[in-house]
Amino acid sequence: MLDKTRLRIAMQKSGRLSDESQELLARCGIKINLQQQRLIAFAENMPIDILRVRDDDIPGLVMDGVVDLGIIGENVLEEELLSRRAQGEDPRYFTLRRLDFGGCRLSLATPLDAEYTGPQSLQDARIATSYPHLLKQYLDKQGVRFKSCLLNGSVEVAPRAGLADAICDLVSTGATLGGQRPARSGGDLPLQGLPDPARRRNAGSQTAADRSPDDPHSGRDPGA
């Protein structure tokens, strides 16, 4: 049974966003030992529990009311939102604040030897991605039919392995897709609720999301 007197925060257990999330908690004055490999850590000086989980589990934990607050990339948050809406759900949460770290882009890319003149070049193409709903939302607006190849890792190798004609994946600032052979960029995908170009450039930037039974998230920061 959950202890309603304690604040429960979900954060990524490991990966590129984990360290900065830990630093954020420390700057907030939360004293906690995150060195041990525990799924739940307890603050020493505040009534706070930290759940250390996979990043793609965090939006669901917030939306289902398992945790009070989640620190998560906007790309993962938006993908979960679209997934639940596709199943007829109406997820309720709101974004407390953009934290402006972990910035990256969600981009389309094709091999260098592929002919690419715009999204229409991907008509009936097979595209590997970990973000099928974001990809569908974008290409539907472009009137492009495609086949999705769902991969949860190593997306960038799909064209060379013969699994896909193109990929849709995250690209960190200043990095190539997977650090491998350069690909031709097909452009960045805008997230549904982030019309500001600066926010599109930081599609993977972390946000603090909070569950609210009275204020469903509409893709806009409160007060923005």
Where in the chain are the domains? 7-102+205-210, 104-201
* CATH number listed for the domain at residues 7-102+205-210: 3.40.190.10
200 versus 150: the higher-pLDDT residue is 150
User: Residue 182 pLDDT more than 80?
Assistant: no
Distances (CA, A) of 189 to 103, 139, 169: 14, 9, 10
Distances (CA, A) of 91 to 2, 19, 129, 219: 21, 28, 23, 11
| pTM score, whole prediction | 0.75
Instruction: Note whether 209 and 69 are within 8 A (CB).
Output: yes
Task: Scan for tokens 């974001």, then name that residue.
Answer: 134
Structure tokens at 202: 């930081």
What SS3 state is found at 32? coil
Residue 128 CB partners (closer than 8 Å, separation 6+): 149, 150, 151, 155, 158, 159, 163, 164, 166, 167, 168, 169
Q: Class assignment of domain 104-201? A: alpha beta
Cα separation of 79 and 163, whole Å?
22
Could you report the per-residue pLDDT of 127-178, keeping only the tens digit for each?
Answer: 999 999 999 999 999 999 999 999 988 898 898 889 999 999 887 654 555 4
CATH topology identical between 7-102+205-210 and 104-201: yes
Instruction: Note whether 186 and 115 are within 8 A (CB).
Output: no
What pLDDT band is residue 191 in, cutting at 50, 70 and 90? Answer: very low
Query: What is the reported pLDDT for 1?
Result: 52
